[in-house]
Amino acid sequence: MLSIKNIVKQYAGHRALDNVSIEVEKGTIYGLLGPNGAGKTSLIRIINQITAPDSGEVFINGERLDQKHIERIGYLPEERGLYKKMQIGEQIIYLAQLKGLTKHEAEKRARYWFGKLDILDWWNKKIEELSKGMQQKAQFVATVMHEPDLIILDEPFSGFDPVNAELIKNEILELNKKGATIIFSTHRMESVEELCDSIALLHLSHKILDGKVKDIRNTYRSNTYMVAYEGNKVNLNNSTLFDTIAETQDDGYQRIKLQIKGAAKVNDVLQYMLPLASINYVEEVIPTMNDIFIQTVSKPQ
């Protein structure tokens, strides 16, 4: 749905994006990741036509990005943009009209969403009277109520308690199920693993990693396993089959995290350990997206 080709963006003496290319498939949830200053917000602003690239192109559904596409995009910025002195219901209707809805349709959809997110009682309140979480709910409604094809969410869970974060997460999944393509920028790696089909990782203005979440995690597998066994601790430090990474004890089990060496297999490790201990379970330790994020951005560039 979204094709970003060789984008370059320069601000005075700082290059925010350096030849960045990304492909977002229709109907997916796509994670846009990176440490602070990586270029994520610069790229999001280009997609929303808030700023323009110095070079490169952006296409939506095969068409070069144009002013007409604005109505089909919903954008939740990290720095929230609601008018503090304006009544919340009036404001949401106004913003929806800017996206092409009639006033009647805007009010109808706004009241539907306010009811769904349990904020109808706040309809006549001003934004400045709301908690941060309530403001975030209102901003979310403004982002999605015109039923955009592409939804861009920059840190959507910021300011939410766990209950409301779960509520918004379920709404994101429901919108995606109905056909919306979603770009999701966050520092919460557990949300990335739970929600995203694919990701791109930006660092120092460059794209340094992209692909499907499952494929990326498999690529970073390191032949590491967790083995739990019963009984007293066994000395396993002299094995030529594996290196011991960590040992812990919990709920009556000894647990050893180990990395298998060379061409050895997990069955070789089990054959080595069985005469020494009663094995309870063996589990491969596949790196999390948080592990991969830290490992990748920590490499010298």
Sign of CA pseudo-dihedral 58, 147, 86, 183: negative
* Residue 27 within a domain: yes
Q: What is the pLDDT of residue 301?
A: 64
Q: What is the CATH number of the domain that holds 57?
A: 3.40.50.300
277 backbone dihedrals φ, ψ, rounded to 5°: -155, 160
Largest CA distance in the chain: 76
- Look up residue 190 and give its two tokens: 């557990």
- Look up residue 294 and give its two tokens: 């830290």
Say yes or no: 122 and 85 in one domain: yes
- Look up residue 68 and give its two tokens: 């007409």
Lowest mean pLDDT among 61-70, 221-230, 231-240: 231-240
Q: Which of 190, 218, 246 is the last residue of a domain?
A: 218
pLDDT tens profile 247-266: 888 877 899 999 999 899 99
Q: What is the pLDDT of residue 277?
A: 87
Domain count along the chain: 2
* Residue 56 within a domain: yes
* Residue 184 within a domain: yes
- Look up residue 90 and give its two tokens: 């009036």
| Domain housing 110 | 2-218
* Residue 301 within a domain: no
b or e along 12-34 (b: 16 or more beta carbons within 10 Å of the residue's beta carbon)? eeebbbbebebebeeebbbbbbb
185 backbone dihedrals φ, ψ, rounded to 5°: -110, 125
Helix (H) or strand (E) holding 212: strand 206-212
pLDDT tens profile 180-206: 999 999 888 888 989 999 999 999 999
pLDDT tens profile 270-279: 999 888 889 9
| Full-model pTM | 0.89
Say yes or no: 58 and 199 in one domain: yes
Say yes or no: 157 and 277 in one domain: no
pLDDT tens profile 39-53: 999 999 999 999 999
Say yes or no: 243 and 111 in one domain: no
Say yes or no: 237 and 124 in one domain: no
8-state DSSP, 226: E
Beta-bridge partners for 183: 30, 152
Helix (H) or strand (E) holding 173: helix 162-177
Q: How far apart are CA 174 and CA 184, in angstroms?
A: 15
Say yes or no: 192 and 62 in one domain: yes
Q: What is the pLDDT of residue 300?
A: 72
Helix (H) or strand (E) holding 254: strand 253-260
* Residue 300 within a domain: no
Say yes or no: 169 and 268 in one domain: no
CA distances from 238 to 103, 243, 285 (A): 75, 9, 22
8-state DSSP, 160: -
Q: What is the CATH number of the domain that holds 260?
A: 3.30.70
Which has more pLDDT, 62 or 238?
A: 62
Say yes or no: 267 and 136 in one domain: no
Q: How many residues does the chain have?
A: 301
CA distances from 75 to 109, 123, 154, 180 (A): 17, 21, 8, 13
* Residue 290 within a domain: no
